[in-house]
Structure 1
Amino acid sequence: MITGLYETHVQVSNLENAIRFYTEILGLKLAHRDETRPIAFLWIGEGKEFMLGLWEQKENLQTRHFAFTSTKEDILNYAVDFLKNKDLEPYNFLKDGSVQPMVFAWMPALAIYFNDPDGNQLEFISILEGDSKPGLGVLSYEEWINFQ
Structure 2
Amino acid sequence: MIKGIYETHVQVSNLENAIGFYTEVLGLTLAHRDETRPIAFLWVGEGKEFMLGLWEQKENLQTRHFAFSSSKEDILNYSVEFLENKNLKPYNFLKNGSIEPMVFAWMPALAIYFNDPDGNQLEFISILEGESRPELGVLSYEEWMKQAENL
Q: Would the TM-score normalized by the shorter structure come out above 0.5?
A: yes
Q: In 2, distance between residues paired with 1:73 and 1:48?
A: 23
Quote the residue 2:93 is aligned against: 93
Look up the SS of the partner of 1:147 in the other structure: helix
The list of structure 1 runs, each at least 4 consecutive aligned residues, that deviate by more than 2 angstroms after superposition, is none
Q: Any stretches of 5+ residues in structure 1 without a counterpart?
A: none
Separation in 1, partners of 2:48, 2:55: 19
Q: Give the aligned partner of residue 48 of structure 2.
A: 48
Percentage of pairs with the same residue: 84
Helix, strand or coil at the partner of 1:125: strand
- Correspondence 1:7-26 to 2 at 5 A: 7-26=7-26
Hey, what does 2:72 align to over in structure 1? 72
The alignment's TM-score, normalised by the length of structure 1, stands at 1.00
Q: Partner residue of 2:127?
A: 127
Q: Equivalent residue of 1:24, what SS?
A: helix
User: How far off its partner does 1:81 sit?
Assistant: 0.3
Letter paired with 1:120: N
Q: C-alpha offsets along residues 124-144 of structure 1, whole Å, 9 cap, x if unaligned? A: 000000000000000000000
Gaps of 5+ in 2: none
Aligned Cα RMSD in Å?
0.2
Question: How far apart are 1:146 and its partner, in Å?
Answer: 0.4
Q: What TM-score, normalized to structure 2?
A: 0.98
Deviation at 1:48, TM superposition (A): 0.4
Q: Deviations over 1:3-37 (max 9, x none)?
A: 00000000000000000000000000000000000
Mapped partners of 1:85, 1:47: distance in 2: 27
The residue type equivalent to 1:122 in the other structure is L
